[in-house]
């Protein structure tokens, strides 16, 4: 399993990339309870909003650094919907 990071339009699936470039952006998935309407797309710019059948919303996007991650988490908090999880995406390239 390697770390998936976004670089200039390409997905890199290699944990060596993460070690060599620890300050580069990473892809995160943020799961919240409840469905967000598509009107929130602009507020969560850069994130893909996926409404799941179980009533949860999955936000997937590139996060440039920890400050940006905390800013996104503040937006989730301000919605008043429960935060379920925050996950750094790691996967095999074959899983794409």
DSSP 36-86: PPGGGGTTTTTEEEEE-TTSEEEEEEEE-SHHHHHHHHHHHHHHTPPEEEE
**Terminal-residue alpha carbon distance, the chain:** 12
27-81: pLDDT as tens digits: 999 999 999 987 888 899 889 999 999 999 999 999 999 999 999 999 999 999 9
| Host domain of residue 45 | 2-95
Give one word for 9, left, alpha or beta, with left for phi > 0 and alpha for psi -120 to 50.
left
Number of folded domains that form the chain: 1
User: Where is pLDDT greater, at 3 or 42?
Assistant: 42
- Measured CA to CA, the distance from residue 48 to residue 52 in angstroms comes to 12
Q: What pLDDT does 13 receive?
A: 53
User: Where is pLDDT greater, at 37 or 18?
Assistant: 37
Q: pTM of whole model > 0.85?
A: no
What CATH number should be reported for the domain holding residue 72? Answer: 3.30.70
Q: What pLDDT does 67 receive?
A: 93
């Amino acid at each position: 399993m390697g770390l998936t990071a976004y670089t200039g339009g390409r997905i890199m699936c290699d944990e060596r990339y993460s070690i060599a470039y620890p300050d580069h952006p990473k892809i995160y998935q943020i799961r919240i309870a409840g469905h967000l309407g598509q009107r929130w797309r602009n507020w969560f710019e850069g994130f893909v909003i996926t409404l799941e059948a179980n009533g949860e919303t999955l936000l997937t996007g590139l996060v440039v650094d920890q400050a940006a991650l905390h800013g996104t988490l503040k937006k989730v908090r301000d919605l008043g919907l429960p935060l379920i999880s925050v996950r750094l995406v790691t996967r095999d390239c074959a899983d794409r």
